[in-house]
Amino acid sequence: MSLKKKSGSVPWDFREGDDNYLREPWILKKGKEFITIETNNNNRGNFYLQKDDEKRLSLSALQAKLTYHQLIDFGYKLQKTKRKKSKTQEAAD
C-alpha cells in the first residue's frame, strides 16, 4: 500500500469563522469505535491520536493528515461539534 500524499483539507486547516471550522478535539466515528485527534500544545506541529480508551499516540503533522484521510477512506465519519445555543435561542425554546 503506497502512502500517496492527499491534497484534501483536514479539520485543523480551518480557522474560526471559516464555514467548515470545527473546534477540537476532532472525533472520527465508525460504529461504536471512535478516534480522537487533537493538537499537541507542548510540541507545535504535532498531534495526538487516540482510539477509544487506548494509549494516546503522538504524530507529526504529515502523519496526522495521512492518517485522517486513511480513516475517512476506511469509513470513519467526522463528527460535527454541537454548537452552543445562544441566549436568544434558549429564551425562544
Which mean pLDDT values do the consecutive 10-residue runs of the chain (93 residues) have? Answer: 61 85 91 94 89 94 95 93 52 49
The pLDDT, as a whole number, for residue 1 is 42
- Give the full edge-to-edge strand order of the sheet including 77-78: 57-60, 46-51, 33-39, 26-30, 77-78
Dihedral Cα 41, 45, 14, 73, nearest 10 deg: -110
Closest Cα partner for 71 from 39, 24, 37? 37
pLDDT of residue 80: 82
> In the prediction, which pLDDT does 89 show?
47
pLDDT score of 66: 95
Cis preceding-peptide flag for 11 (omega within 30 of 0): no
